[in-house]
Amino acid sequence: MDKRNFIRIGLAGGAAGIIAPRSVLAAGMDKVLNSKLAGGLYYTAEDFGRWNKGLADHHLPHLEKSVSYGKVELHASTSHPMNAYGHYIIKHQLHDANLKFMQERLYDPQKDKPETTFDLGAHRGVVYVMTMCNVHDVWMNMIEV
């Protein structure tokens, strides 16, 4: 990843925490995905912003949960090709219901698939997963665990 993309993505993530109104962040799962920030700061299946709808298929994280013995695991995958350092998924990030950072997984575009299993332990409630593409920005999906 080149320095400009790294800085751009870092600034976008930092801006989300600074400019997002508290009412949007604490409003609940539907209000975050459908807030004024969707389609601009991040993209969703319903609000793909400046990109065409077809991009959501390869950028939106697919989420599956499993619960075993009171422990929750969340599998996140993105069906995006990893084209070396040309066009690839940089990382998946996991956030709680208030969009507080929980975990992330960075990918090596030369050898990794954009798939992650997050261990949530006993965490319950809404979580958001963000997929970051080096060309098509940040895409967000949510699931209740």
Query: Is the per-residue pLDDT at 132 higher than 80?
Result: yes
pTM for the whole structure: 0.75
When the pLDDT of each residue in the chain is averaged and rounded to a whole number, the result is: 84
pLDDT for the residue numbered 25: 40
How many percent of the chain have pLDDT more than 90?
62
| SS (HEC) of the chain | CCHHHHHHHHHHHHHHHHHCCHHHHHCCHHHHHCCCCECCCEECCCCCCCCCCHHHHHHCCEEEEEEECCEEEEEEECCCCCECCCECEEEEEEECCCCCEEEEEECCCCCCCCEEEEEEECCCCEEEEEEEECCCEEEEEEEEC
Query: Cβ contacts of residue 132 below 8 Å, gap of 6+?
Result: 9, 89, 90, 91, 92, 93, 138
pLDDT digits (tens, 9 = 90+) for 5-34: 555 555 555 544 444 443 344 445 566 777
pLDDT for the residue numbered 33: 76
